[in-house]
């Protein structure tokens, strides 16, 4: 949740790593992502290696999901964000796409095993690269599973605007989704 809302300093204040593979791997992901956003790319790569190792070696299950799949999504997201921030937008998009495809293939489960969607990172990178049609497709795919999701709706709105299209329905849905928010976002990912 702290990553989701860009509260990176607070993420780094959580200093005890859980011992279980799935929990520890996600803790490593959060630490790596927070370090990256604070300008410490070397630390981010260190944590990426730890998440990758856990994804490659863990036999842990989280309900019906393998740690390999869940941590593989986290690997793709952290790897993609490292590449994006280093200026390798094509590499970032490829990493985010792998993460999104893995997430889309997960077995339906409630509550969902991850509190974020790789499609938000994929869509934002596609927007950044000017690939508005592909970004629209990514956000619409996410909205099929999560109707009225404010993060996806904002990205969809931005993709449509990039194509020169205004959608009163999407605009109204964005306004409704974020009407009680106390944090205003500018992208579908922090």
Q: Which pTM value belongs to this model?
A: 0.89
Q: Which residue has the tokens 């409704």?
A: 176
- What gap in Å lies between CA 21 and CA 57, rounded to an integer? 9
Name every residue whose Cβ is closer than 8 Å to that of residue 182 and which is 6 or more positions away in sequence: none
Banded model confidence at residue 1, pLDDT cuts 50, 70, 90: low
Backbone angles phi, psi at 65, to 5 degrees: -110, 140
Residue 51, class by beta-carbon neighbours within 10 Å (0-12 exposed, 13-18 middle, 19+ buried)? buried
**pLDDT one-digit tens code per residue, 66-116:** 999 999 999 999 999 999 999 999 999 999 999 999 999 999 888 888 988
């Amino acid at each position: 949740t702290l990553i989701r809302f860009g509260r990176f300093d607070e993420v780094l204040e959580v200093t005890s790593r859980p011992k279980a593979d799935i929990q520890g791997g996600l803790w490593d992901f959060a630490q790596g992502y927070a370090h990256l956003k604070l300008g410490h790319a070397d630390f981010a790569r260190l944590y990426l290696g730890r998440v990758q190792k856990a994804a490659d070696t863990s036999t842990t299950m989280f309900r019906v999901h393998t740690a390999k799949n869940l941590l593989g999504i986290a690997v793709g997201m952290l790897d993609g964000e490292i590449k994006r921030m280093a200026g390798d937008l094509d590499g970032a998009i490829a990493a985010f796409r792998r993460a999104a495809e893995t997430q889309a293939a997960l077995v339906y489960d409630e509550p969902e095993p991850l509190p974020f969607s790789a499609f938000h990172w994929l869509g934002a990178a596609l927007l950044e690269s000017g690939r508005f049609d592909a970004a629209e497709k990514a956000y619409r795919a996410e909205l099929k599973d999560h109707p009225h999701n404010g993060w996806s709706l904002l990205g969809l709105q931005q993709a449509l605007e990039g194509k020169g299209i205004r959608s009163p329905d999407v605009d109204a849905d964005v306004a409704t989704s974020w009407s009680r928010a106390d944090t205003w976002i500018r992208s579908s990912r922090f």
